[in-house]
Amino acid sequence: MGALTVVGSAVGAFIMWMAVLSPCPLLVHGVWGGVLMVGAWVVFVLALSYVKVMVGVILRDEGHSALVWCGAVVQLGSLLGAVTMFPVDFIRELVGKLDGMHKEEELQTSGIEHPVISHSHYRHEPYHFNQDQQQQQPTRGPHKTL
């Protein structure tokens, strides 16, 4: 069981390494890159799932309270992961939006609204500030306005 834990953890570290290299991980443009990542995920899930089940089997022999404590520790781990990652993700998103606002000011000086922070319903079309109101209205067909 110890060997499977080490193998699963090593494969998990490899998966994290590939995520860090994103968007250009190893063998990104080849078929073998996809095969490598799918294989890594399969080995990771199988190895650590087997270890988790075996820990449950061992603790079942110890008694009901051991299983309860095992479940509580698993839930505590999930809570700690969520509490750790939520602020990190929130701060990353906030910094991205603040950076976008800075870029919006640069684009407004040239007459184009930032496409990410666009208030238009049609984000694929740049909104030009220097046009009059009739030219800004999107149309459906040659003579129909939305």
In this structure, the answer to whether residues 67 and 100 fall within a common structural domain is: yes
Residue 124: pLDDT band (50, 70, 90) is: low
Q: Which residues pair with 112 in a beta bridge?
A: 128
In this structure, the answer to whether residues 6 and 42 fall within a common structural domain is: yes
pLDDT at 22: 84
Helix axes 31-62, 64-109, angle to 10 degrees: 150
In this structure, the answer to whether residues 71 and 106 fall within a common structural domain is: yes
In this structure, the answer to whether residues 72 and 119 fall within a common structural domain is: yes
Query: Which is higher by pLDDT, 101 or 138?
Result: 101
> pLDDT tens digits for 32-91?
988 999 999 999 999 999 999 999 899 988 888 998 999 999 999 999 999 999 998 888
Among candidates 8, 21, 102, 90, which has minimal Cα distance to 51? 8
In this structure, the answer to whether residues 35 and 69 fall within a common structural domain is: no
Mean pLDDT of the chain: 80
Give the helix/strand (H/E) hosting 71. Answer: helix 64-109
Helix, strand, coil % over all residues of the chain, rounded to 5: 70, 5, 25
pLDDT at 96: 78
Q: Provide the number of structural domains found in the chain.
A: 2
In this structure, the answer to whether residues 81 and 31 fall within a common structural domain is: no
In which domain, by residue range, is 76 found?
Answer: 63-134
pLDDT at 4: 94
Residue 95: pLDDT band (50, 70, 90) is: confident
pLDDT of 120 higher than 60? no
Query: Which is higher by pLDDT, 146 or 102?
Result: 102
